[in-house]
Structure 1
Amino acid sequence: MPLTNKEKTLIEDNLNAEYLCIRKYEQYSAMASDQKIKQVFTDLASKEHQHAQTLKNMLSSNGENTYNMFESYVKPQGDLSNMQPNLGITDAQLLNDALSTEKHVSGSYNTAVLESVDPQIRKQLQHIQQEEQGHAETLFKEMQSRGWYNPS
Protein backbone atom coordinates (compact mmCIF):
# COMPACT_ATOMS: atom_id res chain seq x y z
CA MET A 1 0.00 0.00 0.00
CA PRO A 2 1.54 3.36 -0.98
CA LEU A 3 2.07 5.97 1.71
CA THR A 4 -0.57 8.63 2.11
CA ASN A 5 0.70 12.21 1.97
CA LYS A 6 0.09 12.45 5.71
CA GLU A 7 2.11 9.27 6.44
CA LYS A 8 4.97 10.51 4.27
CA THR A 9 5.02 13.88 6.04
CA LEU A 10 4.86 12.29 9.50
CA ILE A 11 7.65 9.82 8.69
CA GLU A 12 9.81 12.63 7.32
CA ASP A 13 9.14 14.77 10.41
CA ASN A 14 10.12 11.89 12.68
CA LEU A 15 13.21 11.22 10.58
CA ASN A 16 14.25 14.85 11.14
CA ALA A 17 13.69 14.35 14.88
CA GLU A 18 15.82 11.19 14.85
CA TYR A 19 18.69 13.05 13.20
CA LEU A 20 18.36 15.81 15.79
CA CYS A 21 18.55 13.19 18.55
CA ILE A 22 21.60 11.57 16.97
CA ARG A 23 23.39 14.91 16.77
CA LYS A 24 22.47 15.90 20.29
CA TYR A 25 23.44 12.57 21.83
CA GLU A 26 26.77 12.39 20.00
CA GLN A 27 27.55 15.96 21.04
CA TYR A 28 26.35 15.37 24.60
CA SER A 29 28.45 12.22 24.85
CA ALA A 30 31.50 14.26 23.91
CA MET A 31 30.55 17.05 26.35
CA ALA A 32 29.51 14.99 29.40
CA SER A 33 32.06 14.80 32.20
CA ASP A 34 30.79 11.56 33.77
CA GLN A 35 31.82 8.37 31.94
CA LYS A 36 28.53 6.58 32.60
CA ILE A 37 26.56 9.52 31.20
CA LYS A 38 28.86 9.58 28.16
CA GLN A 39 28.02 5.91 27.58
CA VAL A 40 24.26 6.52 27.99
CA PHE A 41 24.40 9.17 25.27
CA THR A 42 26.54 6.97 23.00
CA ASP A 43 24.08 4.08 23.38
CA LEU A 44 21.09 6.33 22.69
CA ALA A 45 22.73 7.78 19.57
CA SER A 46 23.23 4.25 18.27
CA LYS A 47 19.59 3.37 18.87
CA GLU A 48 18.46 6.58 17.16
CA HIS A 49 20.58 5.60 14.14
CA GLN A 50 18.56 2.37 13.97
CA HIS A 51 15.30 4.33 14.12
CA ALA A 52 16.46 6.65 11.34
CA GLN A 53 17.33 3.66 9.18
CA THR A 54 13.90 2.11 9.80
CA LEU A 55 12.20 5.35 8.76
CA LYS A 56 14.40 5.66 5.67
CA ASN A 57 13.48 2.09 4.75
CA MET A 58 9.77 2.94 5.08
CA LEU A 59 10.21 5.81 2.67
CA SER A 60 12.42 4.01 0.16
CA SER A 61 10.25 0.88 0.08
CA ASN A 62 7.41 3.17 -0.98
CA GLY A 63 9.45 4.84 -3.71
CA GLU A 64 10.03 8.02 -1.75
CA ASN A 65 13.24 10.04 -1.74
CA THR A 66 15.23 9.40 1.44
CA TYR A 67 17.59 12.36 1.14
CA ASN A 68 17.67 14.32 4.38
CA MET A 69 19.77 17.42 4.86
CA PHE A 70 20.24 16.62 8.55
CA GLU A 71 21.70 13.18 7.88
CA SER A 72 25.32 14.20 7.49
CA TYR A 73 27.34 16.44 9.72
CA VAL A 74 30.74 16.49 11.37
CA LYS A 75 30.63 14.27 14.43
CA PRO A 76 32.36 15.71 17.53
CA GLN A 77 35.86 14.36 18.01
CA GLY A 78 37.38 13.53 21.38
CA ASP A 79 36.45 14.56 24.88
CA LEU A 80 34.84 17.99 25.00
CA SER A 81 33.87 17.90 28.68
CA ASN A 82 36.28 20.78 29.33
CA MET A 83 33.82 23.00 27.42
CA GLN A 84 31.09 22.60 30.05
CA PRO A 85 32.23 25.44 32.33
CA ASN A 86 32.67 27.81 29.39
CA LEU A 87 29.18 27.03 28.12
CA GLY A 88 27.58 27.00 31.55
CA ILE A 89 26.24 23.48 30.95
CA THR A 90 26.30 20.60 33.42
CA ASP A 91 25.71 16.88 33.00
CA ALA A 92 22.36 17.39 34.74
CA GLN A 93 21.33 19.96 32.12
CA LEU A 94 22.43 17.68 29.27
CA LEU A 95 20.31 14.86 30.68
CA ASN A 96 17.35 17.17 31.29
CA ASP A 97 17.45 18.49 27.74
CA ALA A 98 17.68 14.95 26.37
CA LEU A 99 14.68 13.90 28.49
CA SER A 100 12.67 16.86 27.19
CA THR A 101 13.64 15.90 23.65
CA GLU A 102 12.50 12.30 24.19
CA LYS A 103 9.15 13.50 25.55
CA HIS A 104 8.65 15.56 22.41
CA VAL A 105 9.75 12.79 20.06
CA SER A 106 7.49 10.25 21.76
CA GLY A 107 4.54 12.62 21.30
CA SER A 108 5.42 13.06 17.64
CA TYR A 109 5.41 9.30 17.17
CA ASN A 110 2.07 9.11 18.95
CA THR A 111 0.56 11.40 16.31
CA ALA A 112 2.16 9.36 13.52
CA VAL A 113 0.80 6.11 14.97
CA LEU A 114 -2.70 7.49 15.29
CA GLU A 115 -2.73 8.95 11.78
CA SER A 116 -1.20 6.02 9.87
CA VAL A 117 -3.46 4.11 7.50
CA ASP A 118 -1.12 1.20 6.78
CA PRO A 119 -1.15 -1.35 9.65
CA GLN A 120 2.50 -2.33 9.02
CA ILE A 121 3.65 1.29 9.13
CA ARG A 122 1.61 1.83 12.29
CA LYS A 123 3.18 -1.24 13.91
CA GLN A 124 6.73 -0.09 13.08
CA LEU A 125 6.02 3.39 14.40
CA GLN A 126 4.52 1.95 17.59
CA HIS A 127 7.67 -0.10 18.10
CA ILE A 128 9.88 2.98 17.69
CA GLN A 129 7.62 4.97 20.01
CA GLN A 130 7.97 2.31 22.71
CA GLU A 131 11.73 2.44 22.33
CA GLU A 132 11.67 6.25 22.58
CA GLN A 133 9.72 5.92 25.81
CA GLY A 134 12.41 3.50 26.99
CA HIS A 135 15.05 6.12 26.13
CA ALA A 136 13.17 8.64 28.26
CA GLU A 137 13.03 6.13 31.10
CA THR A 138 16.79 5.56 30.86
CA LEU A 139 17.43 9.30 31.06
CA PHE A 140 14.92 9.74 33.88
CA LYS A 141 16.48 6.94 35.94
CA GLU A 142 19.97 8.32 35.36
CA MET A 143 18.85 11.72 36.62
CA GLN A 144 16.85 10.30 39.51
CA SER A 145 19.75 8.09 40.68
CA ARG A 146 21.91 11.20 40.99
CA GLY A 147 19.25 13.29 42.77
CA TRP A 148 18.74 15.51 39.72
CA TYR A 149 15.09 14.62 39.18
CA ASN A 150 12.68 14.21 42.05
CA PRO A 151 9.13 13.54 40.84
CA SER A 152 7.60 13.83 44.32
Structure 2
Amino acid sequence: MWAFLQQMSYWDWLALGVILLILEVFGAGGYLLWIGMAAAAVGVLTFILPQLSWEMQFLLFGLFAMATALYWWRRQRSAVRESDQPLLNLRGQELIGKTFQVHEAIIDGRGKIKVADGVWLVKGPESPVGTRVRVVAQEGAVLSVERDD
Protein backbone atom coordinates (compact mmCIF):
# COMPACT_ATOMS: atom_id res chain seq x y z
CA MET A 1 0.00 0.00 0.00
CA TRP A 2 2.80 2.40 0.94
CA ALA A 3 4.57 1.65 -2.32
CA PHE A 4 1.44 2.51 -4.28
CA LEU A 5 0.93 5.75 -2.38
CA GLN A 6 4.54 6.80 -2.87
CA GLN A 7 4.34 6.24 -6.61
CA MET A 8 0.96 7.78 -7.40
CA SER A 9 0.97 9.37 -10.81
CA TYR A 10 -1.35 11.78 -12.53
CA TRP A 11 -3.04 8.79 -14.20
CA ASP A 12 -4.20 7.53 -10.81
CA TRP A 13 -5.78 10.89 -9.96
CA LEU A 14 -7.38 11.22 -13.38
CA ALA A 15 -8.77 7.68 -13.10
CA LEU A 16 -10.20 8.50 -9.65
CA GLY A 17 -11.76 11.65 -11.12
CA VAL A 18 -13.34 9.69 -13.97
CA ILE A 19 -14.68 7.03 -11.58
CA LEU A 20 -16.24 9.70 -9.40
CA LEU A 21 -17.79 11.40 -12.44
CA ILE A 22 -19.23 8.07 -13.60
CA LEU A 23 -20.70 7.50 -10.13
CA GLU A 24 -22.20 11.01 -10.32
CA VAL A 25 -24.21 9.90 -13.33
CA PHE A 26 -26.05 7.46 -11.06
CA GLY A 27 -27.55 10.32 -9.07
CA ALA A 28 -25.26 11.73 -6.40
CA GLY A 29 -26.84 15.19 -6.69
CA GLY A 30 -23.73 17.06 -7.80
CA TYR A 31 -21.44 16.20 -4.90
CA LEU A 32 -19.29 13.60 -6.64
CA LEU A 33 -19.00 15.92 -9.63
CA TRP A 34 -17.03 18.45 -7.64
CA ILE A 35 -14.94 15.88 -5.77
CA GLY A 36 -14.17 14.27 -9.13
CA MET A 37 -13.11 17.68 -10.42
CA ALA A 38 -10.84 18.02 -7.35
CA ALA A 39 -9.22 14.67 -8.18
CA ALA A 40 -8.76 15.75 -11.80
CA ALA A 41 -7.18 19.03 -10.64
CA VAL A 42 -4.69 17.10 -8.51
CA GLY A 43 -4.00 14.91 -11.54
CA VAL A 44 -3.25 17.98 -13.65
CA LEU A 45 -1.01 19.43 -10.92
CA THR A 46 0.79 16.09 -10.60
CA PHE A 47 1.36 16.10 -14.37
CA ILE A 48 2.76 19.64 -14.24
CA LEU A 49 4.75 19.06 -11.02
CA PRO A 50 5.74 15.36 -10.98
CA GLN A 51 7.93 15.88 -7.91
CA LEU A 52 4.88 16.40 -5.63
CA SER A 53 4.99 13.94 -2.74
CA TRP A 54 2.01 11.71 -2.14
CA GLU A 55 1.34 13.53 1.14
CA MET A 56 1.12 16.85 -0.70
CA GLN A 57 -1.12 15.26 -3.35
CA PHE A 58 -3.59 14.05 -0.72
CA LEU A 59 -3.44 17.37 1.09
CA LEU A 60 -4.20 19.20 -2.16
CA PHE A 61 -7.00 16.76 -2.93
CA GLY A 62 -8.55 17.37 0.49
CA LEU A 63 -8.28 21.15 0.08
CA PHE A 64 -9.67 21.09 -3.46
CA ALA A 65 -12.50 18.76 -2.41
CA MET A 66 -13.48 21.06 0.46
CA ALA A 67 -13.20 24.17 -1.71
CA THR A 68 -15.32 22.71 -4.52
CA ALA A 69 -17.89 21.32 -2.04
CA LEU A 70 -18.12 24.76 -0.41
CA TYR A 71 -18.49 26.34 -3.84
CA TRP A 72 -21.28 23.88 -4.72
CA TRP A 73 -23.05 24.48 -1.38
CA ARG A 74 -22.95 28.26 -1.81
CA ARG A 75 -24.11 28.00 -5.40
CA GLN A 76 -27.06 25.80 -4.42
CA ARG A 77 -28.08 28.18 -1.61
CA SER A 78 -27.93 31.22 -3.86
CA ALA A 79 -29.99 29.45 -6.53
CA VAL A 80 -32.99 29.14 -4.16
CA ARG A 81 -35.43 31.93 -4.84
CA GLU A 82 -38.91 32.69 -3.64
CA SER A 83 -41.74 31.32 -5.71
CA ASP A 84 -44.24 33.67 -7.29
CA GLN A 85 -46.88 31.04 -6.43
CA PRO A 86 -46.10 29.89 -2.88
CA LEU A 87 -49.36 27.91 -2.53
CA LEU A 88 -48.94 25.99 -5.79
CA ASN A 89 -48.75 22.53 -4.21
CA LEU A 90 -50.79 23.38 -1.12
CA ARG A 91 -54.23 22.93 -2.61
CA GLY A 92 -56.17 23.24 0.63
CA GLN A 93 -54.30 26.40 1.62
CA GLU A 94 -55.12 28.10 -1.66
CA LEU A 95 -58.84 27.45 -1.06
CA ILE A 96 -58.89 29.47 2.18
CA GLY A 97 -61.08 32.56 1.78
CA LYS A 98 -62.94 31.25 -1.27
CA THR A 99 -66.66 30.44 -1.29
CA PHE A 100 -68.30 27.25 -2.54
CA GLN A 101 -71.69 25.57 -2.47
CA VAL A 102 -72.38 22.65 -0.18
CA HIS A 103 -72.48 19.47 -2.26
CA GLU A 104 -73.60 17.09 0.50
CA ALA A 105 -75.41 18.61 3.47
CA ILE A 106 -73.33 19.39 6.53
CA ILE A 107 -74.91 17.24 9.26
CA ASP A 108 -73.40 16.83 12.73
CA GLY A 109 -70.62 19.15 11.63
CA ARG A 110 -69.52 17.05 8.62
CA GLY A 111 -70.32 17.39 4.94
CA LYS A 112 -68.81 17.94 1.47
CA ILE A 113 -68.29 20.80 -0.94
CA LYS A 114 -67.55 20.60 -4.65
CA VAL A 115 -64.35 22.33 -5.74
CA ALA A 116 -63.76 22.34 -9.52
CA ASP A 117 -64.00 18.64 -10.46
CA GLY A 118 -63.31 17.29 -6.96
CA VAL A 119 -65.13 16.98 -3.66
CA TRP A 120 -63.64 18.01 -0.30
CA LEU A 121 -64.69 16.94 3.18
CA VAL A 122 -65.68 19.89 5.33
CA LYS A 123 -66.60 20.55 8.90
CA GLY A 124 -68.73 23.46 9.98
CA PRO A 125 -72.21 24.57 10.95
CA GLU A 126 -75.29 22.62 9.85
CA SER A 127 -76.03 23.59 6.23
CA PRO A 128 -78.33 22.13 3.57
CA VAL A 129 -77.22 21.35 0.00
CA GLY A 130 -76.69 24.53 -2.05
CA THR A 131 -75.75 26.78 0.88
CA ARG A 132 -72.78 29.04 0.15
CA VAL A 133 -69.89 28.53 2.58
CA ARG A 134 -66.46 30.13 2.90
CA VAL A 135 -63.34 28.08 3.64
CA VAL A 136 -61.61 29.45 6.76
CA ALA A 137 -58.99 26.80 7.56
CA GLN A 138 -57.54 23.45 6.60
CA GLU A 139 -56.84 20.55 8.95
CA GLY A 140 -55.25 17.77 6.94
CA ALA A 141 -57.71 16.70 4.24
CA VAL A 142 -60.68 18.40 5.93
CA LEU A 143 -61.60 22.04 5.32
CA SER A 144 -63.20 24.16 8.00
CA VAL A 145 -66.04 26.31 6.65
CA GLU A 146 -68.45 28.94 7.84
CA ARG A 147 -71.63 30.18 6.22
CA ASP A 148 -71.16 32.98 3.72
CA ASP A 149 -74.15 35.22 4.37
Instruction: Say yes or no: TM over 0.5.
Output: no
- Select the structure that is richer in helix: 1
Q: Please identify the structure whose Cα radius of gyration is greater.
A: 2
Higher strand share: 2
TM-score when normalising by structure 1: 0.31
TM-score using structure 2 length: 0.31
Q: Indicate the structure whose relative CO is greater, using CA pairs within 8 Å and at least 6 residues apart.
A: 1
